[in-house]
Amino acid sequence: EAGVAQSPRYKIIEKRQSVAFWCNPISGHATLYWYQQILGQGPKLLIQFQNNGVVDDSQLPKDRFSAERLKGVDSTLKIQPAKLEDSAVYLCASSLELGLAASTDTQYFGPGTRLTVL
Amino acid sequence: QKEVEQNSGPLSVPEGAIASLNCTYSDRGSQSFFWYRQYSGKSPELIMSIYSNGDKEDGRFTAQLNKASQYVSLLIRDSQPSDSATYLCAVIGGGADGLTFGKGTHLIIQP
């Protein structure tokens, strides 16, 4: 079974530029998550999709971050404009179940995209 | 604001000994509890999940949950150098939430 795919793996940009990350979840997985992991900290949930609907985006800085999951499969996360504090690893994860069943389901993480903002 | 607290370490344990990792959480309504291992430069991988009070064993790993004390722990028996990593405690609340992670404990197994 193929895992969660993410691209690019690394990205370096200057502040105020824009950047986009792509995630392809495990086939058939209904729930998709984007996490931000700053160096030395645990991952922080940015947004959760179930199929193509947003379940939780309470920690997404909506003035600069946006995300979509078209057709309930692939997802993109965009930052525009980037700030220095956005330097982090952006992790995509997916799980099979929907709704409350997702709370006991295993989340599988992709390799992440390491973003450096100069 | 849900919080998950872990001692960041580093926790140094001799090879072959038992490593004990601890975690507390603030949301009393939390239902699901996970331990992830993260090697440097890699993504987290699930090693244990636990949902009810008591102990759950899987090979050399034992997870312990005490909801009254809002406390989760992970024991690693017969520690190996390959167990050296950061261990992340993660919690899901009562709804269909994403994971809330602690900062992780850096574990070093000394040969």
SS3 for B22?
strand
Q: Do A104 and B51 touch (CB under 8 A)?
A: yes
Measured between CB atoms, does B60 come within 8 Å of chain A?
no
- β-partners of residue A45 are A35
- List the structure tokens of B93: 């609340």
> Which residue type occupies A45?
L
Q: Do A91 and B88 touch (CB under 8 A)?
A: no
Question: Distance (Å, rounded) from C-alpha A114 to C-alpha B19?
Answer: 30
pLDDT by residue for chain A (118 residues), tens digit each?
689 999 999 999 999 999 999 999 999 999 999 999 999 999 999 999 998 899 999 999 999 999 999 888 999 999 999 999 999 999 999 999 877 677 778 899 999 999 999 9
| Contacts with A5 from chain B: Cβ below 8 Å | none
pLDDT digits (tens, 9 = 90+) for B68-84: 999 999 999 999 999 99
Q: How far apart are the first and last CA of chain A?
A: 37
pLDDT digits (tens, 9 = 90+) for B19-68: 999 999 999 988 899 999 999 999 999 999 999 999 999 999 999 999 99
| Contacts with B90 from chain A: Cβ below 8 Å | 42
**How many angstroms separate the Cα of B105 from the Cα of each of A53, A117, B36, B83, B87?**
34, 27, 11, 12, 5
Measured between CB atoms, does B46 come within 8 Å of chain A?
yes
What is the DSSP secondary-structure string of A7-31?
Answer: E-SEEEE-TT--EEEEEEPPTT--E
Q: Which of B90, B96, B104 sits opposite A102 (nearest CB)?
A: B96
| Contacts with B104 from chain A: Cβ below 8 Å | 41-42
pLDDT digits (tens, 9 = 90+) for A53-75: 999 999 999 999 999 998 889 99
Question: Distance (Å, rounded) from C-alpha A100 to C-alpha B31?
Answer: 11
